[in-house]
Amino acid sequence: MIENEKLLKINTVKDRLKGDTLIAAHHYQNPEIVKCADLVGDSYKLAHLISKSSARNIILCGVNFMAESAAILAREDQKIFIPDSDALCPMAEMADIKVVEKVYEMLRSRYNIDLVPVVYVNSYIDLKNFVGREGGSTCTSSNAKIILQYYLKKNKKILFLPDYFLGANTANAIKDVNARKIIENGEIEDFDNDYVKEINIFLWDGFCPIHQQFTLNDILVLRKNYPEIKVIVHPESKEEVVNNSDYYGSTEYIYDMIKKSKKGSVWGVGTEGTFVQRLALENPDKKVIPLKDARCFNMAKINLDKLLDTLQAISDNKAEKYQVKVENNLKINASKALNKMIEIVESSRI
């Protein structure tokens, strides 16, 4: 089946489901998936809007922690589906709950500190459950600064995980904050008390293999070739990349900045390649150049065939294998952590 036929078929099956099915796609999805999505956004936008949707069936086109987050926030009458449950995020695999709990307890008992965990949404339900249980919050790249400042103002020390770079780059943007990597290969380094007392944010050692590909040299080459260029990058990038960019922020921020920019402006963009390619297509009056063509292969696992199969299975009432279910005993605290983020962000807007 060629692309147009598939799109037609997808719309036909969707119409049959009478508006009761919502297709939500992350910005890094393939353009043809974005074309059939009712909702397109970054992790925060998707989590927030899905939780407000009246649709009973939600198909999440993204990686599995996103579908899991949607399932945590879903109402009793809502079902969450993912077209390919093998679409994983390697970063989410980098913080094992047993190691996290061990390190958290060790930090608290060894140094007697008032510690709260903050977890990037790129993580699994067991971690979010732990964070909710301990009075912490999730965060996304669009709100990490607001969330960290919320706890810092309460004089808490923070265990930030799993992404070292989002934590470090965000801490760099907050005045007088000392953030340190404390764990390497599952082992906590042996610090003395005075050293630990000076630390505000303890950083895990996770990273995104896609955003790690951008280098300072990528920026220098683009600046040499296009002196008027503005460089914008995602905060999962290395610190030297973020520090040498003109702007940095979440995927939604990057999308909006380029969309609102002046005709004829030139952008060097350091984030996922499929998304940058779409940015270039959607902004033909500007020049949009990737720092490097770095693609997330897991995001790309979702395609039109799998989306069509999922829709068809929902329509036939045989979609069990696509449905994302979460354990009830983990859901309560995990939703606390996600809702805490929404509450902190929304109250910061008042």
Regarding 94 and contact with ligand SF4 (CB under 6 A), the answer is no
Nearer to ligand SF4, 44 or 150 (CB): 44
Of these, 63, 94, 158, 222, which contacts ligand SF4 (CB under 6 A)? 63
* Site size for ligand SF4 (CB under 6 A): 12
What gap in Å lies between CA 58 and CA 289, rounded to an integer?
A: 33
Regarding 141 and contact with ligand SF4 (CB under 6 A), the answer is no
Regarding 68 and contact with ligand SF4 (CB under 6 A), the answer is no
Angle between helices 125-133 and 328-348 (to 10 degrees): 70
Angle at 75 between CA 138 and CA 128, to 5 degrees: 20
Amino acid at residue number 285:
D
Regarding 107 and contact with ligand SF4 (CB under 6 A), the answer is no
Options 10-18, 86-94, 100-108, 322-330: segment touching ligand SF4 (CB under 6 A):
86-94
Regarding 135 and contact with ligand SF4 (CB under 6 A), the answer is no
Regarding 82 and contact with ligand SF4 (CB under 6 A), the answer is no
Closest CA to 53 of 82, 16, 80: 80
What gap in Å lies between CA 4 and CA 98, rounded to an integer?
A: 47
Nearer to ligand SF4, 157 or 273 (CB): 273
Of these, 51, 64, 78, 122, which contacts ligand SF4 (CB under 6 A)? 122
Nearer to ligand SF4, 72 or 210 (CB): 210
What gap in Å lies between CA 106 and CA 109, rounded to an integer?
A: 5
Regarding 166 and contact with ligand SF4 (CB under 6 A), the answer is no
Regarding 201 and contact with ligand SF4 (CB under 6 A), the answer is no
Nearer to ligand SF4, 51 or 298 (CB): 298
Nearer to ligand SF4, 90 or 135 (CB): 90
Regarding 302 and contact with ligand SF4 (CB under 6 A), the answer is no
Residue 296 structure tokens: 């997330």
What gap in Å lies between CA 75 and CA 226, rounded to an integer?
A: 50
Nearer to ligand SF4, 88 or 152 (CB): 88
Regarding 90 and contact with ligand SF4 (CB under 6 A), the answer is yes
What gap in Å lies between CA 23 and CA 311, rounded to an integer?
A: 9
Asked whether 108 and 10 are in contact (CB, 8 A), the reply is no
Nearer to ligand SF4, 275 or 322 (CB): 275
- Torsional sign, CA 125, 72, 140, 293: positive
Angle at 239 between CA 97 and CA 151, to 5 degrees: 50
Of these, 24, 74, 115, 210, which contacts ligand SF4 (CB under 6 A)? 210
Closest CA to 296 of 214, 218, 208: 208
Give the per-residue contact string, 262-301, with ligand SF4 (x = CB under 6 A; - = no).
----------x-----------------------x-xx--
Query: Is 115 strand, coil or helix?
Result: strand
Taking every pair of Cα atoms in the chain, the longest distance, rounded to a whole number of angstroms, is 66
For residue 21, the cross-strand partners are 57
Minimum separation from the CB atom of position 104 to ligand SF4 (A): 23
Kindly list the residues in this chain that would bind ligand SF4 in the complex (CB under 6 A): 63, 89-91, 122, 208-210, 272, 296, 298-299
